[in-house]
Structure 1
C-alpha cells in the first residue's frame, strides 16, 4: 500500500517527510510543473513515477523508459525519486544523466525505447521542477494522458508489481552530438554568439556549432544553476538584450540563444535586432519551402499573421495551419498533417523529415538558421529580416493569474469577444474581422491588427500577444484594448513584461 498524496503539507514536519505532497494543479495540459517543496516533495515525485509506470502499462506500451535531468541544483535528486517510482511500477529505466530535453527525445529513437520522462522545469524560474513525458515517440503527453495520470497519482491507484530494472547509459551526449553533426560543414564563415543563460545547453551548444564550421562566441555557457545573470528564457528581453550586446561587441553574424533545457532557440541578427521566433519561422519557411514546394507548416496561435500573407510563401505554394500553443499540441499536429515543420512563437521548432524526427530541438533550430545563412551567402541575417513584410509585434507578455482561476477567466474573455462580434461591435476602433478560439481567443480587426489572450499551460499566468501590419501605434492601441478587457477581472495581476 502506498500513502495517498496530499495537496498541501508544511515542510520540516513528520507528515511532510512521511507523506507524498502533490498539488493537483501541477498536472498541466501537456507536462507537469511544481514548485519543489511547496507544491511537491520527493515522496510526491516518487508517487508521480509510480503513476507514470502504471499509466504506461495501462496504455499497453512496453514498460521501458528513457530519463534524464537538466542542470538545476535539485534536478538529479528529483530524477532519482522519479526513477524509484518507475522501478517500483515495473519499468526498465535507461538513465542518460545530465542532458537537454531533445537529447532525451533522441534517446527514444537511438536506444529504441518507447517512453520518455525528462526532469526539467524548462524556462521556469529556479525553484520549479517538472517532467516532460511521452509514450509514443516522437509525441509527448496531451490533456488526455495528463488527466489520467493525475487521476492515478491523486488516488494512489498504482501498479505495485515491481520487477523494474535500471541501467545508466554512459557518454550518451556524444551520440546525440554525433547524430547532429554527421553532415557537411557550412561553406560560409559565420561568427555565432551561443547564449545559454548558464543553463544546460551551455555544455553542448558551442560544441555543436563549432562542429559544423561556425566560429563560436560563448555567452553565459558556464553551467550555474543559480542563473546569476538572467533566467535562460529565449522570450525574456533581458536575455535577448544580452545577446544583442554580444553581437555588436564581437561583430557576429547572428546570436542564437537556448533556453534552460535546450528545446527552444531565440535569434538576434547582426545589427543587434531581436527577431521574435515567429518571424524567424517565416524566414525558415521561405528557405525550406524553396527546397520543398507546396509544403505544409503548422504554427501556433501566438504567431505572426505573415504566415498567411507573405508573398514568398504564397508563391512557393505553402499551406499553413494555425493550431494550439504548446509543444505537445504542435508536435501532434505536425505529425498528423505530415507537415515539414512546426513553429511556435516561444521558440519551440519541430522539424519533420528530412530535417528531423518530429520533436522540438533548439539545436536543430540553430543549425537550420546557420544553413539558411549558408544558402544566402550574399545576405546578412538583417537582410533576411528586412526582406519580410513589415509588422509590429509584441513579445509574449504574461500577467499573473492563479492556476485555479486562469481558465475560467479566459472562458469569460472568449465569450466577451464572441458577443462583441455577434453584435457587430467595434474593438480597438475597428470592426472585428475574425475570431480564432482554438486556444483562448485571437481577435483580428479590419486592418489585420490582432490580439491574443490565452491561459499559460505551465505557469500561473495568462498569455497576451499583439501584432499590427499597419503601425506601432495600432499595435499599442490593440494592447490597450485587450488589457482594458483583462482589467475587468481583479484576479488578473501584473505583467512580467509589456511593450
Structure 2
C-alpha cells in the first residue's frame, strides 16, 4: 500500500527518498504549485497522480487523460512520476511530450480525451513545479475539485485497481500547429516582435506566426530553462520593457510576449507602449462586437472599468460580466454564459466559437490581435490604443505574503474597508462609492478610481491593482490608500514591482 504523504521532510535524507512529500498549501484554488524538493518530491508527485486518477473514477469520467510537460529542466521527470501514479489508478495516459498548456487542452479535443494533467509552473520562478488539471473539457478544476483532490492525496485514500495504459503520441506538435495555421494568411506581412522569455512557447510561436504570413522578429525564443534574461511573464515589466526596446529598434508594428507555458500573450504597440492585457481586451471587444451582434464578454475583477463604460462597446450592444480572477473561474463563466470571449488582466483570454474552443491559448490570442490589425490596416496598434477613453492603470503588483497567512490577511482587509464604508470614512480623499467582494475587495471611489486587493491563487503573495479614469495623481492616491491598509498587517512583505 502506498504510504500517506508527509507535509514536511528534509531533502537528501533516507526519509525524503522513501516517503511521499506533499505540502498541503500546494493545492491552490484552480491548479497545483509547489517548490520542487522543498514542498513536494517525486514520490509526492506519484501520490498526486494516484489521487487524480482516484478522483476521475469518483467523478464517473472516462479514465483517459492527456499529459504534457513544459521546458523546465525537471518537468519531464515530474511528468513521468505523475504518469506512474495515474497508471496505478487505472488511467489510460496519452502523453504528448514537450508542450505548451494549450497544446494539452487542444489534445483533449483532437484525441477525444476527457481529462488533462499538464505539468507546468507557468511563469513562476525556477524551482517551482505544478499541474493544471481538468476532467471536463474545456474546463479546468476549480476549488471544489481541488479541495477534494487535496483531501484524497493528504489522506492517502487512493484507489489503485491497476489496468492503466500508456500511449505516446509522436509528432503531436505538428497537429496543433496545423490546427492553428489551417486558415487564410494575413492580408499583409505584419512585422511583429515575438518574445518567449526562453520558455516553452519559443519552440512553437515563431513557427506558427510565420506560417500565417507574419514577418517575425524573434526575441529570446531559444529554449533555456534557466530563464537567463527574465521570467517569461507578460505581466512583468522587465519582459515588457525588453519587447518595447526591440519594437523601437526594429520598427515593428507590434510586440507579442508569451508566458512560460504559452497560454498568455502580452502586447506592446508600435510606439513601444506596453498595453496592459485588460486594455487589449477592450480593444478586441470593440473589434469583435462590431462583427457579432449583442456580444457577451466576461472579465475578471482586476480588469479596467472600461468594459462597462466604453461608448463603443455600449453602441455595439456588448454586455460584460465581471467575475472572479483565475483562469479556471473565467473559463467556466465563459462556458456557462456562452460568451464570445473572456479576458483576464493577467493575459489569459478565452475565445468560444467561431474563434476558439473556450480554453486559454496565447497563440489564439495573438492571432486575434493580428486579425484586428489586419481588419484595420489604416490604423496602428497605437491608434487603436489611443482611441480608448483615457485611464491610468497600474501593473499587477504582488507583495509577499505566505500561503498560510494570505487569505486571512485579505479577510482582514475586506473587513477594514467594509467598516470604513459603513462609517462613512473616505478612501484616497473621497467617499467609498462601491465595494466589490466577489474576489478579495475592489474599492471604488466616487470619481471611479478603484483599487483591488486579493490573494494570489498560485504564489505566496497578494495581488494589488489600481486604476483611475481621472489622473495619474488619483492613481497614486488610491495606491497609497490601499497600501496603508495593507501595512496594518505585518504579514505583508515587499512588492515584486510597484508604481
Return the TM-score normalized by structure 1: 1.00
Unaligned runs of 5+ in 1: none
> Where does residue 139 of structure 2 map in the other structure?
139
> Where does residue 376 of structure 1 map in the other structure?
376
Cα distance, 1:422 vs. partner?
A: 1.5
Cα distance, 1:171 vs. partner?
A: 0.4
Q: What is the aligned residue count?
A: 499
- Distance in 2, Cα, partners of 1:219 & 1:105: 26
> Where does residue 180 of structure 1 map in the other structure?
180
- The alignment status of 1:496 with 2:496, answered yes or no, reads yes
> Where does residue 323 of structure 2 map in the other structure?
323
Contact 1:188 1:377 in 2 (8 A): no
SS at match of 2:293: coil
Cα distance, 1:216 vs. partner?
A: 0.2
SS at match of 2:7: coil
> Where does residue 287 of structure 2 map in the other structure?
287
SS at match of 1:463: strand
> Where does residue 398 of structure 2 map in the other structure?
398
Cα distance, 1:84 vs. partner?
A: 0.2
Q: Which moved more, 1:415-424 or 1:481-490?
A: 415-424
Contact 1:449 1:470 in 2 (8 A): yes
- Distance in 2, Cα, partners of 1:11 & 1:143: 30
SS at match of 1:439: coil
- The alignment status of 1:152 with 2:152, answered yes or no, reads yes
Structure 1's consecutive aligned runs of 4 or more residues displaced over 3 angstroms after TM superposition are none
> Where does residue 127 of structure 1 map in the other structure?
127
Contact 1:403 1:461 in 2 (8 A): yes
Q: Which moved more, 1:427-436 or 1:134-143?
A: 427-436
Cα distance, 1:421 vs. partner?
A: 1.3
> Where does residue 206 of structure 2 map in the other structure?
206
Cα distance, 1:22 vs. partner?
A: 0.2
Cα distance, 1:418 vs. partner?
A: 1.2
SS at match of 1:193: strand
- Distance in 1, Cα, partners of 2:439 & 2:173: 36
Alignment of 1:17-166 (within 5 A): 17-166=17-166
Q: Deviations over 1:15-37 (max 9, x none)?
A: 00000000000000000000000
Q: Deviations over 1:76-109 (max 9, x none)?
A: 0000000000000000000000000000000000
SS at match of 1:367: helix
- Distance in 1, Cα, partners of 2:83 & 2:331: 26
Cα distance, 1:480 vs. partner?
A: 0.3
- Distance in 2, Cα, partners of 1:434 & 1:352: 31
Q: Deviations over 1:138-169 (max 9, x none)?
A: 00000000000000000001011111000000
> Where does residue 223 of structure 1 map in the other structure?
223
Cα distance, 1:189 vs. partner?
A: 2.7
> Where does residue 456 of structure 1 map in the other structure?
456
> Where does residue 255 of structure 2 map in the other structure?
255
- Distance in 2, Cα, partners of 1:188 & 1:389: 29
Cα distance, 1:379 vs. partner?
A: 0.3
- Distance in 2, Cα, partners of 1:495 & 1:419: 26
CA RMSD, Structure 1 to Structure 2 (Å): 0.5
Q: Deviations over 1:364-404 (max 9, x none)?
A: 00000000000001000000000000000000000000000
Alignment of 1:233-248 (within 5 A): 233-248=233-248
Cα distance, 1:188 vs. partner?
A: 2.5
> Where does residue 332 of structure 1 map in the other structure?
332
Return the TM-score normalized by structure 2: 1.00
> Where does residue 433 of structure 2 map in the other structure?
433
Contact 1:352 1:358 in 2 (8 A): yes
> Where does residue 367 of structure 1 map in the other structure?
367
- Distance in 1, Cα, partners of 2:288 & 2:210: 23
SS at match of 2:404: helix
Contact 1:296 1:318 in 2 (8 A): yes
Cα distance, 1:417 vs. partner?
A: 1.1
> Where does residue 194 of structure 2 map in the other structure?
194
Unaligned runs of 5+ in 2: none
SS at match of 2:38: coil
